[in-house]
């Protein structure tokens, strides 16, 4: 399977993708451009249309309208070429519960046309990479949810496709397995793969994704780098604490004067907080404070978090639907 990559074509280019199920507008006109060699995050709450979008891009579901190309190949008219270049997690459904993890991976690899020897070597490598070596001989029916998730990702990597769709790879995983998964995703991209990652978790998108599309009710409502999204809502915040707490009111007055913004003072902590619309004014604040003999104990400039971004653009908190990963399965 050596479908030539169209040089210069983005990994994914989708315009106006639509999929309705009866009266449910699962995907309602999605545009996406995913550059090669990056992690692209599709961030949205449960039911936003993430899985349906992924299934259309991976040729598993026919769009009702719109167009999508993967490395320049049309998902509708060149689906065979597209399929040879993508891997999808969650695809590994036809597993045999009575076979061991190793046997399942080998069967899967043989189905992809690899030799017996090649299949055995790759399966052993992948099981080791995903910390499943010890469990490799156990039948799948004894696997926990976290172990299944890792085996699923391992299976999708047998063919090392140039584009990998990871549909909520860490939902419901305990924090340790989750950070292992993050490391694996980073390694994949370092090795030249392009990853489209869907997630309900803001911190995951923030940590992993080079670019993020925020999706809600089947539509992309914002996109850009994490920094661009953060900059699009409100300003950074300056926090500053004078070494001598009794000077806090005087320091607050200076901050207000230099920034021309209202400063708030928390009297107990002696901490001053003010919006920082122009970060280039920071040195002026520091100089003015020194001129007045006010020493600083602590200071930081905080960008708005992705949580605030989500709240601003969707009007509801990001965790309204998302589960708390720390409250999940710990068996893995």
Ligand X SMILES: Nc1ncnc2c1ncn2[C@@H]1O[C@H](COP(=O)(O)OP(=O)(O)O)[C@@H](O)[C@H]1O
> Which spans of this chain sit near ligand X (rule: CB under 6 A)?
21, 24, 26, 44, 46-52
- Residue holding tokens 């080998």? 106
145 binds, among Mg ion, ligand X, none (CB under 5 to 8 A by kind): none
Q: Which CB sits closer to ligand X, 50 or 271?
A: 50
d(CA 197, CA 330): 23
**Contacts (Cβ under 8 Å, ≥6 apart) of 183:** none
Q: At what angle do helices 145-156 and 116-129 cross, to 10 degrees?
A: 130
169 binds, among Mg ion, ligand X, none (CB under 5 to 8 A by kind): none
Q: Which CB sits closer to ligand X, 56 or 238?
A: 56
- Eight-state DSSP code of residue 224: E
- In the complex, the smallest distance separating the C-beta of residue 49 from Mg ion, rounded to whole angstroms, is 8
47 binds, among ligand X, Mg ion, none (CB under 5 to 8 A by kind): ligand X
In terms of Cα–Cα distance, which of 32, 28, 65 is closest to 48? 28
For Mg ion, the binding residues (CB under 5 A) are 50-51
Q: Which CB sits closer to ligand X, 186 or 219?
A: 219
Q: How many CB atoms lie under 10 A from the CB of residue 121?
A: 13
* Contact (Cβ atoms closer than 8 angstroms) between residue 209 and residue 197: yes
321 binds, among ligand X, Mg ion, none (CB under 5 to 8 A by kind): none
- In the complex, the smallest distance separating the C-beta of residue 321 from ligand X, rounded to whole angstroms, is 9
Which residue of this chain has its Cβ atom nearest to Mg ion in the complex?
Answer: 51
- In the complex, the smallest distance separating the C-beta of residue 313 from ligand X, rounded to whole angstroms, is 16
d(CA 215, CA 44): 5
Angle at 50 between CA 131 and CA 196, to 5 degrees: 50
Buried b (16+ CB within 10 A) or exposed e, 94-107: ebeeeebbbbbbbb
- In the complex, the smallest distance separating the C-beta of residue 216 from ligand X, rounded to whole angstroms, is 9
114 binds, among ligand X, Mg ion, none (CB under 5 to 8 A by kind): none
- In the complex, the smallest distance separating the C-beta of residue 197 from ligand X, rounded to whole angstroms, is 13
Phi and psi torsions of 189, nearest 5°: -70, -35
Q: Which CB sits closer to ligand X, 90 or 162?
A: 90
- In the complex, the smallest distance separating the C-beta of residue 50 from ligand X, rounded to whole angstroms, is 3
Q: Which CB sits closer to Mg ion, 50 or 178?
A: 50
26 binds, among Mg ion, ligand X, none (CB under 5 to 8 A by kind): ligand X
Q: Which CB sits closer to ligand X, 25 or 138?
A: 25
d(CA 28, CA 149): 29
């Amino acid at each position: 399977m050596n479908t030539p990559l169209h040089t210069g074509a983005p990994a994914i280019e989708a315009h106006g993708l639509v999929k309705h199920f009866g009266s449910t507008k699962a995907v309602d006109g999605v545009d996406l451009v995913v550059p090669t060699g990056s992690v692209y995050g599709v961030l949205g709450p449960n039911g936003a249309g993430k899985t349906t979008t992924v299934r259309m891009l991976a040729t598993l579901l026919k769009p009702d309208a719109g167009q999508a190309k993967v490395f320049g190949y049309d998902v509708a008219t060149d689906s065979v070429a597209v399929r040879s270049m993508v891997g999808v997690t969650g695809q590994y459904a036809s597993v045999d519960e009575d076979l061991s993890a190793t046997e399942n991976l080998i069967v899967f690899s043989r189905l992809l046309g690899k030799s017996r020897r090649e299949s055995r070597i790759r399966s052993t490598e992948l099981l080791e990479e995903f910390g499943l070596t010890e469990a490799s001989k156990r039948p799948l029916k004894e696997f926990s949810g976290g172990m299944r998730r890792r085996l699923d990702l391992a299976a999708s990597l047998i063919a090392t496709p140039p584009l990998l769709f990871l549909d909520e790879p860490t939902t419901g995983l305990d924090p340790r397995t989750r950070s292992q998964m993050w490391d694996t995703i980073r390694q994949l991209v370092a090795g030249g793969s392009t990853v489209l990652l869907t997630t309900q978790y803001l911190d995951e998108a923030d940590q992993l994704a080079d670019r993020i599309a925020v999706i809600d009710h089947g539509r992309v409502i914002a996109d850009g780098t994490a920094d661009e999204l953060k900059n699009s809502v409100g300003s950074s915040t300056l926090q500053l604490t004078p070494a001598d707490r009794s000077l806090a009111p005087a320091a607050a007055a200076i901050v207000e004067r230099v920034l021309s913004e209202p400063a708030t003072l928390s009297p107990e902590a002696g901490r001053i907080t003010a919006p920082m619309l122009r970060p280039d004014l920071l040195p002026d604040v520091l100089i003015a404070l020194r001129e007045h003999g006010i020493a600083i104990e602590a200071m930081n400039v905080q960008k708005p978090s992705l949580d605030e971004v989500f709240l601003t653009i969707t009007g509801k908190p990001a965790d309204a639907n998302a589960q708390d990963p720390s409250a999940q399965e710990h068996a893995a």
